[in-house]
């Protein structure tokens, strides 16, 4: 009898699912921000997740480079650029510069801003949690993404999503593209109408100091989607993916320390509390599961480090362009530039131009590597195609290879010394950036809360790619089709 009873109970458990899955990604959030701001957080935002949920305290990013579009994609696909193909915010596909979500075949919906509206997930090669959920329910589940950034709304939800909405900061309105629909739903129009009443919102695109407001209106839109689409009330498990990008904007401008950074996280805490309250009211506490993580961390500003006698500094390749070109002419006879771009510590060679000059590709690679190796504060330089025979620590080599797609990731990757980072691109003089393997860039928060989640924590090493595997295990659905992660047993059991 006992065996029969246990069998019945196991069967019921296997078929159970929450009504709603809520994925939250905080752009550029370092893991140690959880403890740094813990005493300043209220009870109902971050601390609700920490005090009542489960914390994976040693969640690491297991690929290079550590940048926004890759992070958002890896969270939800359970894999890395080697398989999902999103190799940066911008990258090259067979020599053609590509924005990760750029799509000339679609048009904007909800605004006339063609530049911000020609977006879709067409460059994504693998499925996401949401795609697998939709497949499992014969596409009855609703999957919706919301963010200030287009890539942070589009890439998490995948190719089959119900919708993705992002902010047109030129007019303070949420928009989408014809990839998803031809007209905004009425609830989205109503939300935009309310946003128009906010005079400050019209200045967001021009005033960096107002960017914390983007988190508030992202929450407004997420709650509007929750109510408007009746998420969690459709008879199948639905999914809402919310990405907070204002933290990244503030970090690049003002760094990891100071009043601006403090303010943006304390405001986010209030916005999370408001989102959780809406989830309680609309879906019911205990009926939804939440995970919160980050797409990457951030280095401390190198000037801040230097002031406190710590290692660090800026690294700028653009300042050496003439020197580099002269070196290449001297060593391999290159009369014209041989680089398409240097992006996220990777070097993209102009292979067509190299052929036109009659140069040997491998000789050019070897010369480029030799040049970069002798630069100050460069730790390692690696030819992707010769990774297994390069004298480089296995940890870095393996992360580089997990971030390498042969048609999209360039040819050579550069690793700089701890505390050094590329300046003059994404970061202001007092701000910061990210992209390397070091813990400040790769150690991210990971919190689970809600349906079937026990309270606790683990310091066991887990990875960003384990998140999708864990959520899919909780839902009893197949993992995304290129998933390399493993379900976190402390959460699923």
Q: Which residues of 359-374 are buried (b: 16+ CB within 10 A; e: fewer)?
A: beeeebbebbbebbee
Instruction: Tell me if residue 433 falls in helix, strand or coil.
Output: coil
Indicate which residues carry an active-site annotation.
Answer: 68
* Count of all residues that appear for the chain in the document: 493
State the Cα–Cα distance between residues 400 and 484, nearest whole angstrom.
15
Hey, which bits of 45-172 come out as E strands? 54-56, 59-60, 90-93, 96-99, 108-109, 143-147, 163-168
**Contact yes or no for 118/108 (Cβ under 8 A):** yes
Joined tokens for residue 13: 């458990």
Burial of 245 (0-12, 13-18, 19+ CB in 10 A): buried
Joined tokens for residue 415: 């690793």
Taking the C-alpha atoms of 253, 91, 114 and 434 in order, what is their torsion angle to the nearest 10 degrees?
-20
Distances, alpha carbon 310 to alpha carbons 179, 313, 437, in Å:
49, 10, 18
Q: DSSP string spanning 383-422?
A: EGGGGGGS-S-HHHHHHHHHT--TTTS-SEEEEEPTTEEE
Q: Which residues of 183-215 are buried (b: 16+ CB within 10 A; e: fewer)?
A: ebbebbeebbeebeeeeebbebeeeeebbbbbb
**Contact yes or no for 379/311 (Cβ under 8 A):** no
Give the side-chain half-sphere CA count within 13 A for 279.
29
Cα dihedral 446, 449, 454, 455 sign: positive
Distances, alpha carbon 154 to alpha carbons 68, 85, 162, 460, in Å:
12, 14, 11, 31
Burial of 280 (0-12, 13-18, 19+ CB in 10 A): middle
Best CA proximity match to 204, nearest among 167, 169, 253, 245? 169
| Rounded to 5°, angle at Cα 129 from 235 and 119 | 105
State the Cα–Cα distance between residues 200 and 430, nearest whole angstrom.
25
Phi first, then psi, for residue 53 (nearest 5°) are: -100, -160
């Amino acid at each position: 009898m006992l065996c029969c009873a246990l069998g019945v109970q196991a069967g019921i458990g296997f078929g159970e699912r929450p009504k709603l899955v809520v994925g939250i990604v905080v752009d550029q959030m370092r893991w140690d921000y959880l403890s740094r701001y813990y005493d300043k957080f209220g009870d109902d935002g971050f601390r609700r997740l920490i005090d009542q949920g489960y914390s994976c305290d040693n969640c690491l990013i297991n690929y290079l480079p550590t940048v926004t579009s890759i992070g958002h994609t890896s969270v939800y696909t359970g894999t890395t650029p080697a398989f999902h193909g999103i190799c940066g915010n911008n990258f090259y596909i067979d020599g053609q510069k590509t924005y990760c979500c750029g799509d000339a075949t679609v048009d904007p919906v909800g605004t006339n801003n063609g530049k911000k509206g020609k977006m879709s997930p067409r460059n994504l090669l693998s499925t996401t949690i949401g795609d697998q959920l939709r497949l499992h329910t014969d596409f009855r589940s609703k999957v919706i993404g919301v963010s200030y950034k287009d890539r942070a709304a589009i890439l998490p939800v995948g190719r089959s999503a119900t919708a993705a909405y992002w902010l047109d900061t030129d007019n303070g309105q949420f928009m989408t593209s014809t990839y998803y629909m031809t007209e905004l739903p009425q609830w989205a129009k109503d939300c935009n109408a309310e946003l128009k009443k906010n005079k400050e919102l019209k200045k967001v695109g021009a005033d960096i100091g107002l960017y914390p407001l983007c988190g508030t209106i992202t929450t407004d839109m997420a709650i509007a989607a929750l109510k408007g689409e009746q998420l969690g009330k459709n008879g199948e498990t639905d999914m809402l993916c919310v990405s907070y990008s204002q933290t990244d904007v503030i970090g690049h401008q003002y760094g990891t320390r100071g009043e601006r950074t403090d303010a943006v996280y304390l405001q986010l805490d209030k916005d999370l509390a408001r989102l959780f309250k809406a989830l309680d009211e609309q879906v019911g506490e205990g009926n939804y599961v939440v995970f919160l993580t980050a797409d990457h961390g951030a280095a401390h500003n190198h000037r801040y480090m230097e002031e406190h006698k710590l290692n660090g500094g800026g690294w700028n390749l653009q300042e050496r362009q003439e020197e580099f070109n002269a070196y290449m002419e001297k060593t391999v006879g290159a009369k014209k530039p041989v680089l398409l771009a240097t992006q996220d510590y990777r070097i993209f060679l102009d292979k067509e131009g190299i052929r036109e000059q009659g140069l040997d590709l491998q000789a050019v690679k070897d010369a480029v590597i030799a040049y970069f190796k002798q630069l100050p504060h460069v730790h390692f330089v690696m030819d992707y195609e010769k990774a297994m025979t390069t004298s480089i620590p296995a940890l870095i080599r393996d992360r580089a290879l997990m971030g390498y797609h042969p048609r999209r990731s360039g040819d050579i990757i550069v690793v700089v010394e701890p505390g050094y980072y590329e300046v003059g691109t994404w970061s202001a003089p007092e701000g910061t950036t990210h992209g390397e393997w070091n813990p400040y860039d790769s150690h991210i928060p990971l919190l689970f809360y809600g349906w079937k989640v026990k309270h606790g924590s683990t310091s066991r090493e887990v990875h960003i790619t384990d998140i999708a595997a864990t959520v899919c295990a909780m839902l009893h659905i197949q993992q995304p089709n290129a998933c390399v992660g493993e379900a976190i047993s402390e959460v699923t059991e």
